[in-house]
Amino acid sequence: MAAPVASPTRLAILTHLADQGEMTVQEIAQPFAMSLPAVSQHLKVLEHAGLILRRRDGQRRPCQIRPERLAEAMTWLNFTQRAWEARFDRLERFLTWSLDREIVITRVIDAPQERVFQAWNDPTQISQWFSPEGFKSETLEIDIRPGGRWRFVYVGPDGTRYENRMVFLRVEAPRLLEIEHGSDIDDDPARFRVTVTFDAQSNGKTVLTLRQLHPTVEQRNAKIGFGAVEIGFTTLDKLARHLA
């Protein structure tokens, strides 16, 4: 069903037939800047998909829509449109980097760039330090590569469990990680983009900068109010101790 209706020309032919009713190839071709053989090829695809019916009437081969099959096609188109609109909405949200949705945390780590990056990139190491002070991380699965994910649980001092999921978008050793972070559910509407950069200083230390881009200003402000910056610094404190 997808391929026959994916063509703008075939969609226009179906619309023309729906407006005008039964028509011959010549009548269908009139609004289109294409040859009769080209129109016939489109009609064959639509006929093969069951979207139109072609019958013989003497020398004529009139075409008409099969409404029941067209309804199925429109259902598919509507579903596909909604799916792509949702994808484009998410893409636009992240491509438009807005300062009023951003949280930035920077820390100088007393370790070389390669070691600091490896502490993020090594599944064993990141599980040891990546959590706020007083919390620990339990890894459910981890695959640190573009397209891979880390499913883990923050366990709080009182035993409360907070399920997390990171999807790794870019892994460029030893200077950059780009991650999508949210709860451990599919299509979490509250998930946010994280960019981590690692810049080497001439004295052997590393400037680590963590940028979060939240989907809305309201979510960013709520995170700030909750203490996201202070909590983030305690996590980087644990990283520094891990590398000491």
Domain coordinates of the chain in residue numbers? Answer: 2-91, 97-243
Tokens for 209? 């900068």
CB 243 within 8 A of CB 128: no
Least confident of 67-71, 77-81, 131-135, 140-144: 77-81
- Residue found under tokens 């994280």: 194
Exposed (0-12), middle (13-18) or buried (19+): which is 152, by Cβ within 10 Å? buried
CB 181 within 8 A of CB 191: yes
CATH architecture of the domain with range 97-243: 2-Layer Sandwich (3.30)
Q: Do domains 2-91 and 97-243 have the same CATH topology?
A: no
Instruction: Give yes or no for residue 124 having a pLDDT over 80.
Output: yes
Q: Radius of gyration of the chain from Cα atoms?
A: 28
Instruction: Give yes or no for residue 95 having a pLDDT over 70.
Output: no
Render pLDDT for 30-88 as a digit per residue (tens, 0 to 9).
877 778 888 888 888 888 877 778 777 777 778 887 776 666 656 655 655 665 565 55
- Considering only the top CATH level, what class is 2-91? mainly alpha
How many Å apart are CA 124 and CA 137, to the nearest integer? Answer: 11
pTM of the complete model: 0.62
CA-to-CA separations, 61 to 27, 58, 81, 135, 212, in angstroms, rounded: 11, 8, 33, 74, 62
Average of per-residue pLDDT values in the chain: 86
